[in-house]
Chain A
Amino acid sequence: GEDVEQSLFLSVREGDSSVINCTYTDSSSTYLYWYKQEPGAGLQLLTYIFSNMDMKQDQRLTVLLNKKDKHLSLRIADTQTGDSAIYFCAESRNQGGKLIFGQGTELSVKP
């Protein structure tokens, strides 16, 4: 079946890099996403990667995909206190299809 797993907590100091990891089981996953959720709010799409890519960089964000190990990571460079939030990885098999979410990683950034 489809399953997405993440570690629950990560704490870093301001200015450090944060790396949030995610594993998934569905080998048919085509699209992989990272979403950010601030308290009491909806989800904001941060970035995404297609399954035929290994890496994607977007300003402070770097996504790495190891398709063989079904492992996805999100690196946030120069982490700021405003980055404190819950980060969800999600996967989808097709365009317009349903998303399967991980449990979310709560990132705490200490000054």
Chain B
Amino acid sequence: GAVVSQHPSWVICKSGTSVKIECRSLDFQATTMFWYRQFPKQSLMLMATSNEGSKATYEQGVEKDKFLINHASLTLSTLTVTSAHPEDSSFYICSAGTKHSYEQYFGPGTRLTVT
């Protein structure tokens, strides 16, 4: 199956700094990438949908100025958590898909801890 990678797999940062998380589709071109957030023992909450070359569509309640998403190419999307605070600590998971497929392929996730 298709492979999606995320980098880094875990990161610890200080409050007030920014953190960038990368999501790459390794062996296919992803027209759409999705960013999810997952709290411990909870479900995945969709944060935003990103289409290559256009602005991301954010879900209600997600601050677009805090969670910056860039989908610069068909194989790379980035999520930048700006001015991170401890409440931003979470597991961030991306997925990638195409318009012509019902499947989404998930990355392994990035554990963010803000101290």
Question: Scoring A residues 26 to 46 as 1 if CB is less than 8 Å from chain B, else 0, what string do you get?
Answer: 000001000100001111110
Within 8 A of A (CB), among B45-103: 46, 49, 93, 95, 97-103
For residue B42, which residues in chain A have a CB less than 8 angstroms away from its CB?
103-104
Q: How far is the CB of B79 from chain A (nearest CB, A)?
A: 15
The answer, yes or no, to whether A101 is at the interface (CB within 8 Å) is yes
- The residue of chain B having its C-beta at the shortest distance from the C-beta of A8 within the complex is B41
**Which single member of A42, A98, A102, A104 contacts B106 (CB below 8 Å)?**
A42
**Which single member of A31, A99, A102, A103 contacts B34 (CB below 8 Å)?**
A99
Q: Is the CB of A48 within 8 A of B109?
A: no
The answer, yes or no, to whether A92 is at the interface (CB within 8 Å) is yes
Which A residues lie at the B interface, using CB under 8 A?
A: 31, 35, 40-45, 48, 50, 88, 92, 95-96, 98-104, 106
Inter-chain CA distance A45–B95, complex, in Å, is 11
Interface of A is mostly: strand
Q: How far is the CB of A87 from chain B (nearest CB, A)?
A: 11
Q: Is the CB of A96 within 8 A of B100?
A: yes
Q: Is the CB of A42 within 8 A of B102?
A: no
Q: Is the CB of A99 within 8 A of B109?
A: no
The 4 A-B pairs of least Cβ separation, nearest first, read A43-B106, A96-B99, A42-B106, A42-B108
Asked if A42 meets B46 with Cβ closer than 8 Å, knowing A96-B98, A98-B34, the reply is no
Inter-chain CA distance A9–B64, complex, in Å, is 34
Most A CB contacts (10 A, CB to CB) among B1, B98, B106, B107 go to B106
Known A-B contacts: A45-B1, A95-B101. Give 18 more (CB < 8 A). A42-B93, A42-B108, A42-B109, A43-B44, A43-B95, A43-B106, A44-B106, A50-B102, A88-B43, A92-B102, A95-B102, A96-B97, A98-B34, A99-B34, A99-B95, A100-B46, A103-B43, A106-B41
